[in-house]
A and B are shown apart, each in its own frame.
Chain A
Amino acid sequence: MDPLSTPKNETKKKLRPASWQVALVAIFLFYMLLPIISTYVFSVATRWDRTILPEGYTLEFYAKAIQASYFTITLRNSFILSISTVLVSLLIIVPTVYWVHTRLGRAKPLLDILMILPFGIPTVVLALALIQVYHFPPLARSPVLLIGAVVVYSMPFMYRPVSNALQALDVQTLTEAGQSLGANIFQVLYRIVIPNIVTGLLSGSLLVFSTVFAEYTLTSLIVGARFKTFPLLLVEFTRINGNIAAAFSVISFTIAWLVSMLILWVGSKGQKATTEGIRAH
């Protein structure tokens, strides 16, 4: 036996979490999961205001939700908005952050501060300001303006993971190594940098997608009924029927969840080596 294995086992025993730690995690999970579970249950409940558990269960609200006019259109619009935002974000953020990391290190603190701003500015203010500034056609109140707005609004979610991934990579030296081997900057980006930050790109894309898929304020104020998205439809139904609104929530949540799974699955294909490589780096 390896003489080192005995102390190792002892450490493992010591590392078993204390009961207060277990309790803390349990409370946290309960706090996080309760609203989701309630929404799920509410969406299939016949009546749930006189008893602790619903009086009966039904799928009728889902049928009604799917039959609602605008259901497909809003779903489609939400997909268009989320996917375009992810793509625009990737195209703007990745080259910028790469450039700042390799050539313009001094600009990094500035960028870090800029990326906090979307959290600081109330969405309503952002929307009203954009409507005032871009009041001329074809931008005025257009889906394009909306995409521009949500790109800004969701930018930190793309910036952080990408910046962290580049930070972990010593991207400057890798770029120079690539250049000394005859690669131009695009080849370096395509062959070396991007494959090594795929994990960051994926988590950024995921965060942006799910944020934008559930975005209400900007959409409602900038385009409103001209380009109705799923959250708009959902809010509309909270005023009509809570159960159907709950069904919409569940559908929205499930879609975001499925898309996350899909992105993670695509990313994990052939990515194992890279992730390990980066971890070892």
Chain B
Amino acid sequence: MAYLDLKNVSKSFAGTLAVKDFNLEIEKGTLVAFLGPSGCGKTTTLRMIAGFEQLDSGTILLDNSDISSVPPNRRDIGMVFQSYALFPNLTVRENIAFGLEMKKTPKKDAEKRVNQVLDMVRLQETAKRFPHQLSGGQQQRIALARALAVQPRVLLLDEPLSALDAEVRVVLRGEIRRIQSELAITTVYVTHDQEEALSISDKVVVMNKGIIEQVGAPEEIYRAPQTRFVATFIGTANQFHGKVDGRESVDCGIVRLLTEPLKDFINGQSVVVLVRPENIQVQLEPPGEGRWNSIPGVVETITFHGAVTRLGVNAGGQRVVADITVSNTKPVALNQKIWLQFTPDMCQVMVADE
């Protein structure tokens, strides 16, 4: 049974549809990330859960009761904002105690609770300071502590790390995940950063133009994207356009690609074959026999990315990118002729958009 249940939720602003017929069940204690480009409706959906936006249609159930028309201050849902939104006139301690005070928690209990959450975010020493005396990362941790102090039923995070440096971002996302699992609090995390979404969530909801493209575990989203949008938005994917040619191959013009058995397609159907750059091997010699796809090409660009080096290859007029690591590939030079190889199970076949 889902703990947080969004049923047929829709919302438009001034005639523009922001969220369209959104259906999602979130299990208790899990962390779900809403991932998508800006304007995809992820923040709007989050704000509807928080109660800051009214639904045009649909319902939101929390623990089996309809909260769609409950005002935000009575939903018992904590929120962390991109801009931290700490109250500048209150100290760290007062900020955290604010929610408890609103709940009329006895002073002693409140004080104990404030200390607990300060320990949780490891910032006990900042209790007497004002928000502007803290770094961005510290402020966001205090904001998290403040949201958690009242023990909300659901925690919402709206791009919580987008305003921080890359280094702090990585540390803090680990912290968020640690605290979330410790408390087993149901959490919705909005981000446009795929790495962030994939690394910390139990489930990722990929959104585009107000609709859900795919829901799944991070690995599932990456390894088995169900739509072309997901395949290209998450990570990088080479796209080969062609037509189904037989049971296990696609004719792409420059090459006939071998694939896994194509059960759901008919012969001659227009399809796109997607291949991730890290699944392509680069060979300097023409390949031998075997069930491999092999495309000859010329190296046009070499970009060093640290762990991998990305090659831009011209394969019969089509640009293909392939990632190589120093350890598994011999040095490659610009304008060198090479062979790109990948096995049929690395090919993901999708219906081409009209």
A interface, CB within 8 angstroms of B: 169-170, 173-174, 176-184, 187, 191-192, 195-196, 273-274, 276-281
Q: Contact between B89 and A181 (Cβ–Cβ < 8 Å)?
A: no
- Choose from B86, B87, B103 the contact partner of A182 (Cβ within 8 Å): B103
- Are A273 and B73 also in contact (CB < 8 A) when A180-B147, A181-B150 are? no
Within the complex, the shortest CB–CB distance from A164 to chain B, in Å, comes to 16
Contact of B83 with A by CB under 8 A: yes
Q: Which interface residue of A169, A182, A273 has the most chain B CB atoms within 10 A?
A: A182
Chain B window 53-75, contacts with chain A (Cβ cutoff 8 Å), 1 for yes, 0 for no: 00000000000000000011111
Offer 12 A-B interface pairs, CB within 8 angstroms, sorted by A: A170-B83, A176-B50, A176-B52, A176-B72, A178-B98, A179-B52, A180-B79, A180-B147, A180-B156, A181-B78, A184-B73, A273-B89
Chain B window 30-64, contacts with chain A (Cβ cutoff 8 Å), 1 for yes, 0 for no: 00000000000000000000111000000000000
| Residues 77-96 (chain B) with a chain A CB within 8 angstroms | 77-79, 81, 83, 85-89
Q: Contact between B73 and A179 (Cβ–Cβ < 8 Å)?
A: yes
B146: A residues at CB distance < 8 A: 181
- Choose from A176, A187, A274 the contact partner of B89 (Cβ within 8 Å): A274
Within the complex, the shortest CB–CB distance from B104 to chain A, in Å, comes to 10
Contact of B233 with A by CB under 8 A: no
Give the A-B contact count at a CB cut-off of 8 A.
84
Contact of B99 with A by CB under 8 A: yes
Q: In whole angstroms, how far apart are the Cα atoms of A35 and B348 in the complex?
A: 85
Within the complex, the shortest CB–CB distance from B207 to chain A, in Å, comes to 21
Q: In whole angstroms, how far apart are the Cα atoms of A280 and B71 in the complex?
A: 31
Q: In whole angstroms, how far apart are the Cα atoms of A62 and B79 in the complex?
A: 63
Contact of B160 with A by CB under 8 A: no
Q: Contact between A183 and B73 (Cβ–Cβ < 8 Å)?
A: yes
- Choose from A174, A176, A273 the contact partner of B130 (Cβ within 8 Å): A273
Within the complex, the shortest CB–CB distance from A191 to chain B, in Å, comes to 7
B interface, CB within 8 angstroms of A: 50-52, 71-79, 81, 83, 85-89, 98-99, 102-103, 130-133, 143, 146-147, 150, 156
Q: Contact between A277 and B89 (Cβ–Cβ < 8 Å)?
A: yes
Nearest 6 CB-CB pairings of A with B: A280-B132, A277-B88, A181-B99, A182-B102, A177-B85, A180-B79
Within the complex, the shortest CB–CB distance from A141 to chain B, in Å, comes to 44
A276: B residues at CB distance < 8 A: 130, 132
Q: Contact between B85 and A196 (Cβ–Cβ < 8 Å)?
A: no
A274: B residues at CB distance < 8 A: 88-89
- Are A177 and B87 also in contact (CB < 8 A) when A183-B73, A276-B130, A276-B132 are? yes
- Are A192 and B50 also in contact (CB < 8 A) when A180-B72, A276-B130 are? no
Q: Contact between A174 and B73 (Cβ–Cβ < 8 Å)?
A: no
Q: Contact between B98 and A277 (Cβ–Cβ < 8 Å)?
A: no
Q: Contact between A280 and B88 (Cβ–Cβ < 8 Å)?
A: yes
Within the complex, the shortest CB–CB distance from B94 to chain A, in Å, comes to 10
Within the complex, the shortest CB–CB distance from A202 to chain B, in Å, comes to 14
- Chain A, residue nearest B83 (CB): A173
- Choose from A181, A187, A277 the contact partner of B131 (Cβ within 8 Å): A277
- Are A177 and B79 also in contact (CB < 8 A) when A182-B150, A187-B102, A277-B131 are? yes
A182: B residues at CB distance < 8 A: 73-74, 76, 99, 102-103, 150
- Chain A, residue nearest B132 (CB): A280
- Chain B, residue nearest A180 (CB): B79
B85: A residues at CB distance < 8 A: 170, 173-174, 176-177
- Choose from A174, A176, A180 the contact partner of B87 (Cβ within 8 Å): A174
- Chain A, residue nearest B156 (CB): A180
Q: In whole angstroms, how far apart are the Cα atoms of A177 and B83 in the complex?
A: 11
Q: In whole angstroms, how far apart are the Cα atoms of A179 and B83 in the complex?
A: 16
- Chain A, residue nearest B96 (CB): A181
Q: Contact between A181 and B83 (Cβ–Cβ < 8 Å)?
A: no
Q: Contact between B130 and A181 (Cβ–Cβ < 8 Å)?
A: no
Within the complex, the shortest CB–CB distance from B149 to chain A, in Å, comes to 8
A280: B residues at CB distance < 8 A: 88, 131-133
- Chain B, residue nearest A279 (CB): B132
A281: B residues at CB distance < 8 A: 88, 132
- Chain A, residue nearest B75 (CB): A180
B76: A residues at CB distance < 8 A: 182
- Chain A, residue nearest B103 (CB): A182
Q: In whole angstroms, how far apart are the Cα atoms of A225 and B143 in the complex?
A: 59
Q: In whole angstroms, how far apart are the Cα atoms of A279 and B88 in the complex?
A: 10
- Choose from B75, B81, B83, B89 the contact partner of A196 (Cβ within 8 Å): B89
Q: In whole angstroms, how far apart are the Cα atoms of A281 and B50 in the complex?
A: 25
Q: Contact between A180 and B77 (Cβ–Cβ < 8 Å)?
A: yes
- Chain B, residue nearest A185 (CB): B73
A277: B residues at CB distance < 8 A: 88-89, 130-132
Within the complex, the shortest CB–CB distance from B60 to chain A, in Å, comes to 15
Q: In whole angstroms, how far apart are the Cα atoms of A181 and B98 in the complex?
A: 7
Q: In whole angstroms, how far apart are the Cα atoms of A274 and B150 in the complex?
A: 25
Q: Contact between B72 and A179 (Cβ–Cβ < 8 Å)?
A: yes
B99: A residues at CB distance < 8 A: 181-182
- Chain B, residue nearest A197 (CB): B89
Q: In whole angstroms, how far apart are the Cα atoms of A164 and B89 in the complex?
A: 17
Q: In whole angstroms, how far apart are the Cα atoms of A176 and B84 in the complex?
A: 11
Within the complex, the shortest CB–CB distance from B115 to chain A, in Å, comes to 18
Within the complex, the shortest CB–CB distance from B50 to chain A, in Å, comes to 6
Q: Contact between A180 and B89 (Cβ–Cβ < 8 Å)?
A: no
- Choose from B50, B75, B83, B102 the contact partner of A183 (Cβ within 8 Å): B102
- Chain A, residue nearest B88 (CB): A277
Other contacts beyond A179-B51, A181-B150, A195-B89: 7, CB < 8 A: A170-B85, A174-B87, A176-B50, A180-B77, A181-B99, A182-B102, A278-B88
